[in-house]
Amino acid sequence: MKTVLLLAGTAEARALAAECGSGLRLIASLAGVTEKPVSYPCAVRTGGFGGIDGMRAFIEDEKVKAVVDATHPFAVTISANACAACDMKKTPLVRLVRPAWEPVGDWCGFADLADAVAALPIGARVLATTGRKEMRVLAERADIRVVLRSVDPPDALPGHMVSLAARGPFTVMSEMALMREYRITHLLTRNAGGESRARIDAAAALGITLHIVERPVIPAANSVSNVADALEWLSDVLRD
Ligand SMILES: NC(=O)c1ccc[n+]([C@@H]2O[C@H](COP(=O)([O-])OP(=O)(O)OC[C@H]3O[C@@H](n4cnc5c(N)ncnc54)[C@H](OP(=O)(O)O)[C@@H]3O)[C@@H](O)[C@H]2O)c1
């Protein structure tokens, strides 16, 4: 049975694992950053590989025939490492990446989080869904109020920030209710793309300003935008 490495941690990776069938040996790889990760219907390995060399060694040891990089569009390092490791081993690689969102409402795009936060006006009441890793830059803005939503709550926050631990999917109605409850004036989020756009539509509907961190540049790789195309790519490269 041929082995496929699935770089995971997203809804797309779980959907691909669910639809893959039993004709191949699929190993999903998780970074191990989420305390209670959603389960996968296939073998799972957890934790970093140890950079490009570590991933290359894994590909060799497990006789991996193809790699699907279905990591988050903002997970730059792992995607770059996959390109380099697969290139060295001449292992076929495809990137499964959901399409970015098109601008809606009062949309202000920024190249990075620091710029998006710097542009928030004094007194803004911000719903931030940028993840707890990025909280440091928000912690420095004591002149605004922040509701920080993340899957796992941060250990401690300064007085101008409150934590909301929650895992989607969310609906436009529930997002609008949350934004009204906290009298949100600005949504700070990344252009993650795909289905989870309820917060974007809710903010646009309420006239809330969107501070959007646009997508980082990731080394070019073969790309598909949905699970069906990724499965077709897999069946092509594993055919012989
Ligand atoms: N960034 C986000 O906003 C976001 C959102 C939702 C889900 N996720 C998921 O969370 C994971 C970590 O995201 P990140 O932004 O911290 O990634 P990153 O900055 O690109 O990666 C940092 C390091 O974490 C390890 N790593 C990342 N993803 C891995 C995976 N799927 N399997 C094994 N090791 C992995 C690698 O360590 P080594 O160098 O030691 O191999 C990598 O160098 C990703 O798998 C991503 O799909 C990220």
Predicted TM-score (pTM) of this structure: 0.87
- Among 39, 47, 46, 45, which residue's Cα sits nearest to residue 18? 39
- For 212-228, the pLDDT digits (tens) are 999 998 887 799 999 99
pLDDT of residue 88: 82
Q: In testing the pocket of ligand 1, which one of 7, 26, 71 has its CB within 8 Å of the most ligand atoms?
A: 71
Domain ranges of the chain: 3-99+217-237, 107-213
- For 34-69, the pLDDT digits (tens) are 878 889 999 999 999 999 999 999 999 999 999 999
Length of the chain counted residue by residue: 240
Asked whether the predicted pLDDT for residue 128 surpasses 90, the reply is: yes
CATH 3.40.50.300 is held by the domain 107-213: no
| CA–CA separation, 118 and 115 (whole Å) | 5
Extract the tokens encoding 125: 């009441």
Residue 27: CB within 6 Å of ligand 1?
no
- Only one residue has tokens 């920024």, namely 110
Residue 33: CB within 6 Å of ligand 1?
yes
Side-by-side strand order, sheet with 161-165: 107-110, 209-213, 186-190, 125-128, 145-150, 161-165
| CA–CA separation, 176 and 203 (whole Å) | 7
Q: Do domains 3-99+217-237 and 107-213 have the same CATH topology?
A: yes
3-99+217-237 in CATH: which number? 3.40.50.11190
What is the percent of the chain where pLDDT is above 70?
Answer: 100
Q: How far is the CA of 109 from the centre of ligand 1 (A)?
A: 24
What's the one-letter identity of residue 217? Answer: V
Extract the tokens encoding 224: 């598909």
